[in-house]
Amino acid sequence: MKNLVIIPTYNECENIEAIIRKVFGLAEAFQVLIVDDGSPDGTAHIVKKLQEEYPAVLHLEERNGKLGLGTAYIHGFKWALERDFDYIFEMDADFSHNPEDLVRLLAACRNEEYDVAIGSRYIRGVNVINWPMSRVLMSYFAGIYVRLITGMPIMDPTGGFICYSREVLSVIPLQKIRFVGYAFQIEMKFNAYLYKFRIVEVPIVFTDRTKGQSKMSTRIFKEAVFGVVMMKIWSLFKSFKR
């Protein structure tokens, strides 16, 4: 089995070496793909130096300009499919996702035969550390809103710590994914749900970054709010057979 962790980066020089070393120190074998959007802080340079130490398992794709989280993951998904990876993971670079939980997400898909495993902040209460209450409430009620509009029984539809089986990413038409921020995460899960893949939420503790700067913006949040309605409308005119 080949496992790939995709980590999009933009100005993550303070975190990137530590997160890479943490992944390679796990008991399970993972390869890592960094998709860097032209970080001016030298993130890609750090990765290139680390490739000398991890030549066969650390990969770097550099893009020109800040093109968005969703397009970075789509780029990574296509890269992974071309190289026959079996399980493909989304994970942030800033340690808000604990790399040790990669092993639990992998076990849910590989051992329990789920197609998608979501690292969920809300499947067992609210497990978020260092967020202001306003952001916790915004995220939690966003989940309620998404479930209401889409009908997906997923407690953390905006979460970005995920394991996909190869089959899921082969079936979902990646070229037709429209959104780039929070709405991208919802759109991918909604597609997996509509194609009737087996989805499980694995409880995690989400810890807000302590180094670097958050990429969250009002534009990204608005995209999610209005995007959910558009997704639901589009879904009524599509076939989801596989």
Higher pLDDT, 133 or 60: 60
Q: What is the pLDDT of residues 10-30, one digit of tens each?
A: 999 999 999 999 999 999 999
- Joined tokens for residue 39: 């970080």
pLDDT at 182: 76
pTM: 0.93
Query: For 26, what's the count of Cα atoms within 13 Å in the CB-facing half-sphere?
Result: 21
User: Taking 70 as the threshold, does the pLDDT of residue 209 lie above it?
Assistant: no
Higher pLDDT, 157 or 127: 157
Spatial separation of the C-alpha atoms in residues 172 and 195, rounded to whole Å = 8
C-beta separation of 91 from 102 below 8 A: yes
